[in-house]
Amino acid sequence: MENPIAKLVPQYFGEYPKNFLQLLNNISLGPDQNKKDVETLLWQAYEFGNRLHDGQKRLSGKPYFSHCIAVANTLAKWNMDTTTIIAGLLHDTLEDTDATRDDLMNKFGDELASLVNGLTKLKEIQYSSRKEKQAGNFMKMLLSVAQDLRVIIIKFADRLHNMETINYMPQIKKHRIAIETRDIYIPLAHRMGMSAVKSQLEDLVFNVLNPTGYKEIKTKIKSSKKQRLKFINEVIKPIEIELNNYAILPKMYGRAKSYSSIYGKMISRNKTFNEIYDLSALRIIVDKPEQCYLALGLVHNIYMPVQDRFKDFIATPKTNGYQSIHTTIIGPGGQMLEIQIRTKEMEETAEIGVAAHWVYKNSKSSDIDKNVKWLRELLEILKNESTNPKEFMELLKIDLYNEEIFAFTPLGDLIQLPSGSTPVDFAFQVHTQVGMQCMGAKINHLVVPLNTKIKNGDVVEIIISKKQKPSIGWQKFVVTSKARNEINRFIRKEHDKASIKLGEELLIKTMRRMKLADAIKEFQDGYNKFGYADKKSMLNAIGSGILTVREMFAKLRPKDQELLPNEDNTLKTKIYNFNRGEVVLDGIENLLVNFGKCCKPIPGDDVIGFVTRGRGVTVHQSSCKSLPLLSHESDRLVPVHWNVKASEKFNVGLKVIGLDYKGWLKDVSECISKENINISSVDIAVKDSIAEAHLIVQVKNNRILNRLMRKITKLKNIDYVEREGR
């Protein structure tokens, strides 16, 4: 007979609801925890949450609290501590019920209340890829809650369940949540080493964003399962016998890779499903690290390893803590197979990253932060107030799927970098100051260009100079977020400094010329009338051409406007001339720069520099026809980059051909003027009623030129427009 009182006070009768017992079963106890205490506390939380969410329903029609239990269960399976699991159970109470932070604090303590509070804050932000501002909010919030990594881990459990049940959502919301998961949660999970979460989320996102592709892979995986298992078992047998000879009893299993990673490979390598050999990997799980190496030796003894596919992440773990040995072998029938060898502990770290063994560690997150170098770096970058949301999104996305390489300082210190890294990345990785003053580099004792790609095992020596400053050109080749971010910051700072100085100069000079020097202060202090927070940002705006002195007069001294020189041109020319160098050479300053007469490059064109004897560097378009003549002296070619700030106008020759009619030239030149572009010369000839005009126009860059050429092409009776000197 069921006891009716048992339902009310199940702790005395041991008749808990089934889902509570399940959760209790999943919990692992910390070293100084007693099962009964945990049970009592967990029941209190269960009951509290259940009561608060009473009557609320999920879109699926299930009681809302079932979601909270699912989140708590996930956290329990990740071996999180009891407080975190309870926070999972109550994660939506502040947001969706009448409970207050004080209620939580009084009932379950400070730590729990602050975890739930952190989650609530995180929830207030909705990320939308269209709105950078929201990404910015997300970034700030992440920073504030990252004091305790557990908030993010709970958020992952929450997101995982929401993604699993996403089919009940309306289409638009589904899409938004999937994109947010793809852009923020998946990169974060990767960086925190939570690869099981990452691949689960990836497949769920894949299913929402590309249901057809998902179904295709799913069906194919299913239908090829038998065959794959047979192959894996064939590979396993001899390995097992050998390992048993050495008294090692491994756990071995084949594991299909995630649908999204298989699909990604099909796309990126342009292969069909059947052509991808690494659909699954074989894992060998042993007890001790040294057994990993023994197992590796035995595996290589049985099967031929594929050269260059061997990686030892035990000796040198990935930055997110991942440890394992990877090797690819040629199995029966010549089929290749990736084998991953690791210990049980490494396995757990690989699957749930920072969350692994949490319950056995000190629950204070600061200890764990030390192991998550990337997260520390991200936080450092975020703390810098000048980081903008767009950069932050880049930081999250960057090196997500990059492999890591290992290089050494001359003193033998190991530096880990994403593959494709250059000496500049290396320098910034060693220390920000080393990066800032990086002048040159030697790899394995040989001087190399700064854009050289570092290879595994290289010894990299950075040559520094106090006078050296980061160059814009570096942005073209650096791959680490740290280097990119520091360079951006430096350039922005320099640019701001220069604009402020120029802005002040422009303002003061204009006022002096108008004999209004006594009003300078009034103008300088009027920044709030133009919507600027302080004097510096207003001067910055003047210096970068956003705010004109004319506009200031219109507002502050409308009567004195006539005194202004008729054309602002004098001021504008100043701005243009301010940026002296149109091209930036990697690390080389004060060099004479000419433009190739043959191809007349303009900003935006792909360019390359050729070091001439005694006449500095001549810049050509990369596609310039005269370059092949020079290329036998390819050691004199240097990479150059347009200085994006250059605003000077460049002459470009255009050839326009079309059927002649009255007003042909007028139409062409009107079209050009409409684009606000100057024509500096025209030469027209008509032959057999075909008009051929050679024009020289002045444009800032090739974007503007291309737009102009499109516009001219659209005019009637124009046959074609061509840029001359290609």
> Which span sits near Mn ion by CB under 5 A: 154-162, 415-423, 431-439, 711-719?
154-162
650-659 and 678-687 strand pairing = unpaired
> Which span sits near Mn ion by CB under 5 A: 151-159, 368-376, 413-421, 468-476?
151-159
Residue 288-327 contact track with Mn ion, rule CB under 5 A, x = bound: ----------------------------------------
Total Cβ atoms within 10 A of residue 475: 16
Q: Which is nearer to Mn ion, 92 or 391 (CB)?
A: 92
Alpha-carbon gap, residue 14 to 532, rounded angstroms: 67
Which of 501-504's residues contact partners 24+ apart within 8 Å by CB, and which partners? 501/543, 502/542, 502/543, 502/574, 502/575, 502/578, 503/538, 503/539, 503/540, 503/541, 503/542, 503/543, 503/544, 504/539, 504/542, 504/543
Active site residue 2: no
Q: Which is nearer to Mn ion, 99 or 460 (CB)?
A: 99
State in angstroms the smallest separation of the CB of 201 from Mn ion: 15
Place of tokens 């970068």: 544
State in angstroms the smallest separation of the CB of 91 from Mn ion: 6
Tokens of 288: 């001790």
State in angstroms the smallest separation of the CB of 124 from Mn ion: 13
Q: Which is nearer to Mn ion, 158 or 605 (CB)?
A: 158
Site for Mn ion in 164-193 (CB under 5 A): none
Site for Mn ion in 575-604 (CB under 5 A): none
Q: What is the Cβ-side half-sphere exposure of residue 387, based on CA atoms within 13 angstroms? A: 26
Q: Which residue of 81, 148, 158, 605 would you call a contact of Mn ion, by CB under 5 A?
A: 158
Alpha-carbon gap, residue 653 to 679, rounded angstroms: 10
Q: Which is nearer to Mn ion, 158 or 180 (CB)?
A: 158
Strand partners, 683: 694
Biggest CA–CA distance in the chain, Å, is 109
Angle at CA 523, nearest 5°, toward 520 and 527? 145
> Which span sits near Mn ion by CB under 5 A: 21-29, 158-166, 232-240, 345-353?
158-166
First and final C-alpha spacing in the chain = 94
Question: Contact 281/337 with Cβ under 8 angstroms?
Answer: yes
Q: Which is nearer to Mn ion, 92 or 504 (CB)?
A: 92
Tokens of 200: 């689960």
Helices and strands (H, E) in the chain, number of each type: 32, 20
Q: Which is nearer to Mn ion, 87 or 549 (CB)?
A: 87
Instruction: Please name the amino acid found at residue 573.
Output: T
Site for Mn ion in 647-706 (CB under 5 A): none
| Rg of the chain in Å (alpha carbons) | 33
Residue 92-111 contact track with Mn ion, rule CB under 5 A, x = bound: x-------------------
Q: Which is nearer to Mn ion, 142 or 697 (CB)?
A: 142
Tokens of 62: 């299930």
Residues near Mn ion (CB under 5 A), total: 2
* Residue 280 dihedral angles phi and psi, to the nearest 5°: -135, 165
Angle at CA 471, nearest 5°, toward 469 and 477? 135
> Which span sits near Mn ion by CB under 5 A: 86-94, 444-452, 507-515, 524-532?
86-94
State in angstroms the smallest separation of the CB of 161 from Mn ion: 7
Place of tokens 């109470």: 93
State in angstroms the smallest separation of the CB of 76 from Mn ion: 16
Place of tokens 């050679």: 694
Q: Which is nearer to Mn ion, 158 or 202 (CB)?
A: 158
State in angstroms the smallest separation of the CB of 67 from Mn ion: 6
Q: What is the Cβ-side half-sphere exposure of residue 105, based on CA atoms within 13 angstroms? A: 6
Active site residue 345: no
State in angstroms the smallest separation of the CB of 249 from Mn ion: 41
Alpha-carbon gap, residue 397 to 413, rounded angstroms: 28
Tokens of 145: 């809650």
Give the burial string for 612-634 (b: 16+ CB within 10 Å, else e). eeeebbbbbbeebeebeebeeee
Tokens of 287: 């007890």
State in angstroms the smallest separation of the CB of 126 from Mn ion: 14
Place of tokens 């977020």: 481
Q: Which is nearer to Mn ion, 92 or 404 (CB)?
A: 92
> Which span sits near Mn ion by CB under 5 A: 88-96, 143-151, 626-634, 702-710?
88-96
Alpha-carbon gap, residue 308 to 117, rounded angstroms: 49
> Which span sits near Mn ion by CB under 5 A: 153-161, 282-290, 319-327, 640-648?
153-161
Question: Contact 702/605 with Cβ under 8 angstroms?
Answer: yes
Residue from 15, 39, 47, 96 carrying the catalytic annotation: 96
| Nearest in space to 204 (alpha carbons), one of 160, 170, 255, 153 | 160
69 is a contact residue toward Mn ion (CB under 5 A):
no
DSSP 3-state assignment of 591? coil
> Which span sits near Mn ion by CB under 5 A: 91-99, 166-174, 470-478, 510-518?
91-99
> Which span sits near Mn ion by CB under 5 A: 156-164, 432-440, 516-524, 663-671?
156-164
Q: What is the Cβ-side half-sphere exposure of residue 153, based on CA atoms within 13 angstroms? A: 32
Residue from 54, 95, 525, 560 carrying the catalytic annotation: 95
Q: Which is nearer to Mn ion, 158 or 203 (CB)?
A: 158
State in angstroms the smallest separation of the CB of 174 from Mn ion: 16
Q: Which is nearer to Mn ion, 151 or 450 (CB)?
A: 151
Residue 104-143 contact track with Mn ion, rule CB under 5 A, x = bound: ----------------------------------------
Q: Which is nearer to Mn ion, 160 or 208 (CB)?
A: 160
State in angstroms the smallest separation of the CB of 142 from Mn ion: 17
Q: Which residue has the CB atom at the shortest distance from Mn ion? A: 158
State in angstroms the smallest separation of the CB of 258 from Mn ion: 24
593-595 and 617-621 strand pairing = parallel
Instruction: Please name the amino acid found at residue 563.
Output: L
State in angstroms the smallest separation of the CB of 262 from Mn ion: 30
> Which span sits near Mn ion by CB under 5 A: 87-95, 103-111, 218-226, 651-659?
87-95
* Residue 273 dihedral angles phi and psi, to the nearest 5°: -55, -45
The residues assigned a catalytic role are: 95-96
Contact residues toward Mn ion (CB under 5 A) are: 92, 158
